Amino acid sequence: MSNVGAFEELCQDYVGWWLDGILEKTDAVDCAQRHAELWGVVDEIGQDEVQAIMSLAFSPAEGLQSDYASRLVMQWELADPRDRWRWTGELPPMQQVPAIEKLPYRTAQSTIDAFHYVVREGDPERLATWLRNHPADVPTLVGMLEVA
């Protein structure tokens, strides 16, 4: 077998290693180029013909679409702990729901204004009824009376 035939077979080997994920494509092509130089294939048929052989070996089969985009998405999802489960068979992570901090109750300004109106009317019975209807506000409102 000539060096050219051996080089064509070697290119197919490198394509297999690239497809199996053993080598990156750039590394596989660089290694094939180095072998072409070491075996004298470049001197025998020229660099353009060596490039044509490698291009043919590494090109996708006709009719097949490139899977670059799907491989890229897979790499991104494997690197993200939130999406890794799509490829590994793990259970999806539990959704972290942020805790909502409950603010302490505060009497609304409109309630304070209404309280002042009822106090100014001077009817103790109406004031008592109004306060019974606003039990959560009584400590604040009575405290306001004591300050005044």
What pTM was computed for the model?
A: 0.43
Domain ranges in the chain are 3-58, 109-147
pLDDT mean over 120-147: 87
Q: What is the 3-state secondary structure (H, E, C) of the chain?
A: CCHHHHHHHHHHHHHHHHHCCCCCHHHHHHHHHHHHHHCCHHHHHCHHHHHHHHHHHHCCCCCCCCCHHHHHHHHHHHHCCCCCHHHHCCCCCCCCCCCCCCCCCCCCHHHHHHHHHHHHHCCHHHHHHHHHCCHHHHHHHHHHHHHC
What is the pLDDT of the chain when averaged over all its residues?
Answer: 87
Convert the pLDDT of each residue in 62-88 to its tens digit.
Answer: 665 667 778 888 899 999 988 888 888
